[in-house]
């Protein structure tokens, strides 16, 4: 991982910035109004950003709950993947509510990442709207590290 990557809560200036939108577009494949809707959704939730020289290179958005927290969105700039930034973002979210489980849902593209990060993974029933897409529920226990 680049030595100078830092992690913190996003500022109002970060949210909706060109870096933020570029990362969301790259990770989600969304453009136009769909990208703007995603940016609004993410901006209204608690989050952690990874920065390299002031540039946003990673984002984790989550919902904090009483019995668990939900990782709603996780994105790392493609040029920074494989350097531990995603894992550090997950644990930065976990550090905000360390006594509860952290839950995420994903598909085949990212399930290996969640397993390697310590999540227990369970296949979800297939959704008839997308019968060829397998989804997974991933749970990081409260005491996992």
- pLDDT tens-digit readout, 122-145: 999 988 888 899 999 999 998 766
Residue 145: the pLDDT is: 62
DSSP string, 36-76: HHHHHHHHTS-EEEEEETTEEEEEEEEEE-SSEEEEEEEEE
- pLDDT tens-digit readout, 52-86: 999 999 999 999 888 899 999 999 998 999 999 99
Give the strand pairing for 47-52 and 55-64: antiparallel
Mean of pLDDT values over 34-62: 92
For the chain, list the domains and their CATH numbers: 5-140 (3.40.630.30)
The yes-or-no verdict on residue 102 having pLDDT over 90 is yes
pLDDT bucket at 2, cuts 50 / 70 / 90:
low
Cα within 13 Å of Cα(30), Cβ side: 13
Task: With beta carbons less than 8 A apart as the criterion, state whether 27 and 38 touch.
Answer: no
């Amino acid at each position: 991982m680049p030595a100078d990557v830092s992690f913190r809560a996003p500022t109002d200036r970060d949210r909706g910035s060109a870096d933020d939108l570029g990362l969301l577009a790259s990770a989600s494949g969304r453009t136009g109004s769909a990208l703007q809707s995603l940016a609004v959704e993410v901006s209204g939730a608690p989050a952690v950003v990874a920065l390299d020289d002031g540039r946003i290179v990673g984002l984790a958005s989550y919902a904090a709950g009483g019995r668990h927290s939900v990782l709603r969105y996780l994105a790392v700039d493609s040029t920074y993947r494989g350097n531990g930034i995603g894992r550090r973002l997950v644990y930065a979210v976990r550090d905000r509510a360390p006594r509860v489980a952290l839950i995420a849902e994903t598909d085949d593209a990212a399930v290996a990442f969640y397993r390697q990060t310590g999540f227990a993974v369970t296949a979800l029933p297939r959704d008839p709207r997308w019968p060829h897409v397998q989804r997974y529920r991933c749970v990081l226990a409260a005491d996992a590290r």
